Structure 1
């Protein structure tokens, strides 16, 4: 039962990130179609801020709530929307520019993009607070019968993970972004591609920590890692919506 719940939890955080990353891209696309920012997004901005608050409270209370997976299950029983990313939608269409100037605290698509970016940062802190690390030994797949092809796949994923992890750390050091530990002020200076790659790598690490890894889990990890490219100090990441196989 606990193993099944852990897969559900891991599947949810992977899905939350996929949607969050996609919504951030959608906000940028909407700006191109609404350059004068006639539409407002106050309601959905408030929902994203509430999303942030729930994650922050979860992390703050976690030391007193026991293991993360069980804590997550209890939270979802109380609040079904926990970890569900809000969908972008506008409040209304402004036909006159003058009416807009009379309003206060209007959230434009630009401001909404900033709110979503801040939400991504809070989500990153939520992921980092989960101390489960990748188990890169074959004992990490205990309880699962693996054939030679699956063992080879596991080893390839392991090597690629270690390679990408090392390269990203080198980029961080060369960019003088991190000295000893991650600091919020420093992380905000990271390029978007580097930041997104760090999140993806953390998710892969969390999947590899599952007590029972399946072949489709390894294929998912392999696909995620293949999207991260590091050439010298330049980091790029191909955007692809990839659902985690629960």
Structure 2
């Protein structure tokens, strides 16, 4: 993650420099001033560094989700298996770290509306001033005698709220008009890859609809209100699909990344009885 932070910071600087070179004022008076003002000349064959910045951002999002998912799965495995979670305790210090994780995400979502640039640019800029942004704490069962303790139930609620906050972070990352236009005119490296991307997007949309359908009330005696644990399980599946959808939004996706998207979606399915089946084991995202 430190490597991705460094790449993001470097590509942010290059992106802003590239924009300053390509910048063209709208008004006639500003254009005249712009023409007369000395500015660095663009090197021949200069490549827009923004796609690299976006790749670093998407990789960070995927790694953050894998870490958050692993923490939740690990906690449930160690504390929920015997049904005696109410009698267990967790270090309060770790809980505070997860609360800080939530606060930073909330602050980013609120401030993004007032920031200039696309999501990867805004993220890289805020990451420079807030290094712990999207940095998931590690749940540890070891208890220091000096640490304050909270109940495992309270810790679970904090962990679940962190997951919901991360979903809000993903939802706020909406496609811009620039991305929509780029998607229409941009062609993939091959027709086969283009077909695969379209197929994966359709499959992603279909599975997302199936999972959302599980949460909707129906006029059926068999459909009962979902328990909180079941609702959260569906939310985990929706986040899996949301992360995959964000990868597929990139203008350039490698074959390894497409394979990752396909494998990630295959781990989420709805069986014939209308129940979601999800494999929570980590699947690390290939950054290249």
Distance (Å, rounded) in 2 between the aligned partners of 1:129 and 1:37: 38
Task: Count residues in correspondence.
Answer: 227
Residue 75 of structure 1: how far off its partner (Å): 1.4
Partner of 1:145: 189
The 8 Å contact of residues 16 and 84 in structure 1, kept in 2 or not, is answered as yes
**Which ranges in structure 1 are unaligned for 5 or more consecutive residues?**
95-102, 177-185
How far residue 68 of structure 1 moved from its aligned partner, in angstroms, is 1.5
Please tell me whether the aligned partners of residues 45 and 112 of structure 1 are also in contact (alpha carbons under 8 angstroms).
yes
Alignment of 1:141-180 (within 5 A): 142=186, 144-146=188-190, 148=192, 150-174=193-217
In the alignment, what sits opposite 1:75? 126
Deviates more, 1:84-93 or 1:58-67: 84-93
Match of 1:64 in 2: 114
| Segment of structure 1 superposing worse, 111-120 or 229-238 | 229-238
In structure 1, the residue matched to 2:100 is 50
Alignment partner of 1:243: what SS? coil
Map of 2:276 onto structure 1: 235
SS in 2 for 1:241: coil
Could you tell me how far 1:78 is from its partner in structure 2? 1.5
Contact 1:144-1:214 within 8 A present in 2 as well: no
- Displacement of 1:35 in angstroms is 6.2
TM-score, normalised to structure 2, is 0.68
Aligned residue for 2:265?
Answer: 225
Shift of 1:188: 6.2
- Please tell me whether the aligned partners of residues 39 and 92 of structure 1 are also in contact (alpha carbons under 8 angstroms): no
Residue equivalent to 1:126: 169
Cα deviation, residue 204, structure 1: 1.2
Asked if 1 retains the 8 angstrom alpha-carbon contact of 2:86 and 2:152, the reply is no
Instruction: Give me the whole-angstrom Cα distance separating, in 2, the residues matched to 1:172 and 1:239.
Output: 20
How far residue 157 of structure 1 moved from its aligned partner, in angstroms, is 1.5
Cα distance in 2 for partners of 1:72, 1:205 equals: 18
CA contact (8 A) 1:42 1:91 kept: no
The aligned residue for residue 97 of structure 1 is none
Compare relative contact order (CA 8 Å, sep 6+) and give the higher one, 1 or 2. Answer: 1
Partners of 1:59 and 1:155 in 2: CA distance: 29
How far 1:84 sits from its partner (Å)? 0.8
- The match for 2:57 among 2, 6, 9 is 9
Superposition RMSD on alpha carbons, in Å? Answer: 3.3
Partner Cα distance (1:187, 1:39) in 2 = 23
| Matching of residues 81-120 of structure 1 within 5 Å | 81-90=132-141, 92=143, 106-120=149-163
Query: Which stretch has the larger CA shift, 107-116 or 12-21?
Result: 107-116
Q: 1:118 to 1:36 in 2, by over 3 A?
A: closer
Distance in 2 between residues matched to 1:91 and 1:242, nearest whole Å: 26
Are the counterparts in 2 of residues 168 and 230 from structure 1 also a CA contact under 8 Å?
yes
